[in-house]
């Protein structure tokens, strides 16, 4: 049996709720962006800059970025624990799972750092 040491939370219900809440946030962000693009048509760099220079949009985008990472981590953790098991990989499954999770964490960390630099960088 796989322990939940690297899970986002300590139980499946919390993970389920986090995934649903983050899905709603991402859906709201997507609906807003699609609506904004449809209303404003051709956008210049100045238009985009004007939108993303507003604090509320930076916070909304950061919330969407963090929601993407939380949502992705729960999904990737679930895939890793479901499919990287001794049944498929033998005794090396724990090492492979650890490498998989480290790569996932590093990828998500780079994604967040890059997003922060884009949002609040010069």
Relative orientation angle of helices 45-52 and 55-83, to the nearest 10 degrees: 80
pLDDT tier for residue 105 given thresholds of 50, 70 and 90: very high
pTM metric for this prediction: 0.82
Residue range 56-67, pLDDT digits in tens: 999 999 999 999
d(CA 81, CA 76): 9
pLDDT tier for residue 41 given thresholds of 50, 70 and 90: confident
Domain boundaries, the chain: 12-120
Which fold is adopted by the domain 12-120? Answer: 3 helical TM bundles of succinate and fumarate reductases (1.20.1300)
Residue range 10-28, pLDDT digits in tens: 678 888 899 999 999 999 9
- pLDDT (mean) for 109-122: 91
- The structure tokens 């724990």 sit at 94
Binning the chain into helix, strand and coil, the percentages to the nearest 5 are 85, 0, 15
- The structure tokens 């970025």 sit at 65
Q: What tokens appear for 64 in the block?
A: 């969407």
CA distance from start to end of the chain: 48
d(CA 59, CA 82): 34
Residue range 30-40, pLDDT digits in tens: 999 999 999 99
Residue 109 pLDDT = 97
């Amino acid at each position: 049996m796989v322990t939940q040491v690297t899970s986002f939370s300590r139980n499946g219900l919390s993970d389920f709720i986090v995934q649903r809440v983050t899905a709603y946030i991402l859906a709201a962000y997507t609906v807003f962006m699609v609506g904004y693009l449809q209303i404003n048509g051709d956008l210049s760099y100045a238009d985009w800059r004007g939108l993303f220079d507003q604090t509320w949009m930076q916070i909304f985008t950061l919330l969407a970025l963090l929601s993407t990472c939380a949502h992705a981590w729960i999904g990737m953790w679930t895939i890793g624990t479901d499919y990287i098991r001794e049944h498929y990989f033998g005794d090396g499954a724990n090492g492979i799972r650890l490498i998989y999770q480290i790569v996932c964490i590093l990828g998500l960390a780079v994604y967040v750092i890059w997003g922060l630099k884009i949002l609040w960088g010069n």
